Amino acid sequence: MTAHAAPIFPVRDVATALAFYRGLGFGAREWRGGGYGFVTFEGAEIHLGEEPDLDARPDRRSTAYLFVEDADALARTWRAAGAEVRLPEDTEWGRHEGVLIDPDGNVIRFGSPMTTH
């Protein structure tokens, strides 16, 4: 048996969110019925569900984690594209992790193995 999971991020406007993620290098497409979208990045998938009243619901944000080969390079790429990114730092659990916050307040934590210096 195989399992696959995809977090669902609430967004104010699917078209705007898709454009944001596309600008970061994600594959992006909108469901043909509207109000829902899909973004992919190196095999990972995140769904986007439109919630126009999102600002009234600050508790409705989501988080995903991306395992990547080089968190520093990804952080530089996303920052150069204008995204809000916290630069990666080494963690006590052995990952080198950074944080991307999208315009709707959703969070993508991303990390690569720590390197020895």
Question: For residue 2, is it within any domain?
Answer: no
Q: Tokens 């469901």: give the residue.
A: 31
What pLDDT, on a 0 to 100 scale, did the predictor assign at position 60? 75
Q: Tokens 């109000």: give the residue.
A: 35
- Has residue 18 got a pLDDT over 50? yes
Question: For residue 12, is it within any domain?
Answer: yes
CATH of the domain at 83: 3.10.180.10
Question: For residue 40, is it within any domain?
Answer: yes
* pTM greater than 0.95 (yes/no): no
Question: For residue 24, is it within any domain?
Answer: yes
Question: For residue 1, is it within any domain?
Answer: no
Q: Which residues of 12-39 are buried (b: 16+ CB within 10 A; e: fewer)?
A: ebbeebbebbeebebebebeeeeeebbb
Number of domains in the chain: 1
pLDDT tens profile 70-110: 999 999 999 999 999 999 999 999 999 999 999 999 999 99
Question: For residue 13, is it within any domain?
Answer: yes
Q: For residue 59, what are the domain limits?
A: 8-113
Question: For residue 82, is it within any domain?
Answer: yes
pLDDT tens profile 25-62: 999 999 988 899 999 999 899 999 998 887 777 777 89
What's the rounded Cα separation, in Å, for the pair 34 and 23?
20
Question: For residue 23, is it within any domain?
Answer: yes
